[in-house]
Structure 1
Amino acid sequence: MAAVARALRTFSSSSVAAAPATANAAGKLPNVFFDIHVNSKPLGRIEFRLFDSDVPRTARNFRELATGQNGFGYKGSGFHRIIPQFMLQGGDFTRHNGTGGKSIYGEKFAGASLTFLAALNLQLHLPGTQANAVRLSTDENFNCRHTHAGLLSMANAGRNTNGSQFFITTVPTPWLDGKHVVFGEVTKGMEFVKKVEALGSGSGTPSAKVVIADSGIVEEDEE
């Protein structure tokens, strides 16, 4: 039991970021906004609803990167890859070229229960724990599908490599199901998503500088 207690302390101290956003009286967590600028000129606001009940850790990661409450996040970063009839990709606030970024839990992150089980196995010195830890560090889930335009999904470099980069779909992208974690959708400002999409190219290189000038949570009286 002492080993279990140590595992619990290790997990809670090393794997959990600052306190998450507080739900309102109806139990709903706040939506998130991006204020978009193109070539330093305001374009408009995009608002997102996050799928907290389906993928709570992924949603929390995005929300806290939007608020910047951990000292880093999306504000001031750009959309480095834009492909018409596909998606807009952003979230690299460290290198700004698609090779950087980090999550609120560390460089990469996994589903909460799986991360805890891996930590617990290592504390208990169970057989094969190193292999179990690698296997258990996995994408949160793929329950939500890429069924329509305006979905938020995690960009990655292969399985189990979620950090801070994300993309917004501009068409249904079913070939990404089971490969990328869908965690939210656009609720307002899809017209601005389409305007940004028009600045893209087949190679993904934007024809203008598209920046998240501000980001945060949508207050209830703004919804």
Structure 2
Amino acid sequence: MKVATFNTSKGDIRIQLFDKLVPNTVANFVKLIEDGFYNGLKFHRVIPDFMIQGGCPLGNGTGGPGYQFADEFHPELKHDGPGVLSMANSGPNTNGSQFFITHVETSWLDGKHSVFGKVLDGQDVVDAVEGGDLINEITLSDE
């Protein structure tokens, strides 16, 4: 099992990545982590009782890694509760570096945003994150 640990200014969030079910989306995320892309970025969009969003290098929701890639959906992966890690986008096939983690079930996002992970530990941290809080670093491990 591939795990991403987000070290944030509010604490750690451990997330299982679904590399077997959505390999392209996870590979993109892993590459950005390995490149240090997310280090020092902030959670630029936080909506209570909905989600926290990060991964924008400009800090305002308009930036990305300089490319876009296709949506990747798997029938088993849904926005079915708190702790779902999914790609933020601006429409079909516009994924880049931005992601969000849910506070609650958000089923209306199914088929629009690519789910690629689930919180294992640290949902309390997800719920405590406020706009402007930092992603100090994301590390990867195989467990």
Tell me, in whole angstroms, the C-alpha distance in 2 between the residues paired with 1:83 and 1:64.
27
The gaps in structure 1 that reach 5 residues or longer are 1-27, 38-42, 111-138, 200-205
**1:141 and 2:92 correspond:** no
- 1:71-110 CA-to-partner distances (Å, cap 9, x unmatched) read x5111111000000100000112x11100012xxx61113
Which one-letter code corresponds to 2:73 in the other structure?
N
Residue type of the alignment partner of 2:84:
L
Q: Indicate the RMSD between aligned Cα atoms, in angstroms.
A: 1.5
Q: Which amino acid aligns with 1:212?
A: I
- Percent sequence identity is 49
Do the aligned partners of 2:21 and 2:74 also contact (CA within 8 Å) in 1? no
**2:72 counterpart SS class:** coil
Residue type at the aligned position of 1:109: F
Q: Give the aligned length.
A: 142
SS in 2 for 1:45: strand
In structure 2, the partner of 1:32 is: 4
Determine which of 42, 47, 67 is the counterpart of 2:14.
47
Query: In 2, are the aligned partners of 1:63 and 1:216 still within 8 Å (CA)?
Result: no
- C-alpha distance in structure 1 between counterparts of 2:3 and 2:31, whole Å: 11
Output aligned runs, 1:23-172, within 5 Å. 28=1, 30-37=2-9, 43-68=10-35, 72-93=36-57, 95-102=58-65, 107-110=67-70, 139-143=71-75, 144-172=77-105
- CA distance in structure 2 between the partners assigned to 1:219 and 1:185 by the alignment: 15
Q: For 2:29, what is the secondary structure of its paired residue? A: helix
Counterpart of 1:186 in 2: which secondary structure? Answer: strand
TM-score of the pair, normalised by structure 2:
0.92
**TM-score, normalised with respect to structure 1:** 0.60
Q: Which structure is higher in helix share? A: 1
Residue 67 of structure 1, CA deviation: 2.5
The structure whose Rg is larger is 1
What do residues 139-168 of structure 1 show as CA deviations (whole Å, max 9, x unaligned)?
122521110100001000001100010000
Q: Please, which runs of 5 or more residues in structure 2 have no aligned partner? A: none
Runs of 4+ in 1 over 2 A off after TM superposition: none
Pairwise CA distance, 1:188: 1.1
